[in-house]
Amino acid sequence: MKIGIVGATGAVGQELLRLLLRREFPFSELRLLASARSAGKEVTEGGRTWTIQEATPDAFSGLDMAIFSAGASISRELGPAAAERGCVVIDNSSAFRMDEGVPLVIPEINGKEASKHKGIIANPNCSTAIALMGLYPLHREFGLRRVIASTYQAVSGSGAEAIAELDAQVRAYVAGGESKPEVYPYPIAFNLLPHVDVFTEGGYTKEELKLLYESRKIMNLPSLRVSATCVRVPVFRAHSIAITAQFEHVIDLDQARRAISAFPGCDLVDDPANLRYPMPLDYAGQVNCGVGRLRMDSAMDNTLSFWVVGDQLWKGAALNAIQIAELLAAGDGEG
């Protein structure tokens, strides 16, 4: 297949390139696309070198598919133009996620929806993707009703500049100096920011509302109730999410653990007696998400509390997009 990456110089774009090579995706041509200021630069990975091309409508001519990771405004500008040229768009931004007729896909959950595309397929928000890897196998067993979630989101979710900012602030602190924040409104090193994305009138941020609306669409649960608090933490990579989920049916804890353990893309890491639980350091650069700390909630009936960890740059972005591309390449659209 002939494939393109839009936003190839960004943090997710770089991971897309690495994963395409690592997973031996079957491409005969790979075009790395970015802004005009990056055009002409060379990128080397896996012993091969590519020259960045400017992302223009005509840059998609002859491509079978393109994975977009350059922000919603670029996706809205170039996504339809790519689709008009016969190039299937797999979009990492929020531009098309809630559009009717655009599949919003996590391959392990609703992979069959990918084949129903009309030229554009949406990748979910990073927190949604990681949270649902823990929630969906439990929903299949017990019937999900409502979710309360608190996210602990790594700076990788804000891009390469945020990773550099955390690194600079930590180094400055150790050296007894100061590094002023630029990506975030306050220092992120040794701090927590209960603020991910833009605040809305109701007090929730857009990131928190994404977890609500995207979960409903992916799991086909239009009445699902979700309340989230999204927090940026001084972790370089991999998001963690504390989840309290209420179900329709009585919960068997052993059955819940078996469901998590058997679900593709999940690791059950749930042995607190031996201090075993998922952590960001363990899941950075990992394909699977880790689920642990499963316990019956002490405040509500038919409710489980648990902890999910996953790599934001992989399952939360690049890996999920490539898994969608692999479904299309296989020609069956099945998860």
Whole-prediction pTM value?
0.94
Q: Among this protein's residues, is 117 annotated catalytic?
A: no
Asked whether 290 and 269 are in contact (CB, 8 A), the reply is yes
pLDDT at position 334 is 39
- The set of residues, in sequence order, having a beta carbon less than 8 Å from that of 183 and lying 6+ positions away, is 155, 158, 159, 161, 162, 165
Q: Which residues contact 198 (CB under 8 A, 6 or more apart)?
A: 205, 206
**249 is an active site residue:** no
* Per-position pLDDT tens, the chain of length 335: 999 999 999 889 999 999 999 999 999 999 999 999 999 999 999 999 999 999 999 999 999 999 999 999 999 999 999 999 999 999 999 999 999 999 999 999 999 999 999 999 999 999 999 999 999 999 999 999 999 999 999 999 998 899 999 999 999 999 999 999 999 999 999 999 999 999 999 999 999 999 999 999 999 999 999 999 999 999 999 999 999 999 999 999 999 999 999 999 999 999 999 999 999 999 999 999 999 999 999 999 999 999 999 999 999 999 999 999 999 999 854 33
Judge contact between 284 and 278, C-beta under 8 A: no
Q: What are phi and psi of 276, to 5 degrees?
A: -110, 120
> Residue 332: what pLDDT?
54
Domains of the chain: 2-124+317-330 (3.40.50.720), 128-312 (3.30.360.10)
Q: How far is CA 173 from the centre of its chain?
A: 30
For residue 335, the tally of other CB atoms under 10 A from its CB is: 18
Burial environment of residue 197 by CB neighbours within 10 A (0 to 12, 13 to 18, 19 or more) = middle
Q: What is the DSSP letter of 205?
A: B
| Phi-psi category of residue 190: left, alpha or beta, with phi > 0 → left and psi -120 to 50 → alpha | left
The pLDDT value recorded for residue 300 is 94
Q: What are phi and psi of 179, to 5 degrees?
A: -130, 115
Choosing from 117, 139, 230, 239, which is the catalytic residue?
239
Question: Among candidates 146, 77, 69, 32, which has minimal Cα distance to 316?
Answer: 69
Q: Where are the alpha helices (DSSP H) in the chain?
A: 11-22, 72-84, 107-110, 126-142, 160-174, 206-219, 253-262, 280-283, 319-330
d(CA 132, CA 127) in angstroms, rounded, equals 8
Residue from 140, 83, 77 nearest 335 by CA: 140
Look at residue 160 in the predicted model and tell me its pLDDT. 87
Task: Name the catalytic one among 126, 230, 266, 289.
Answer: 126
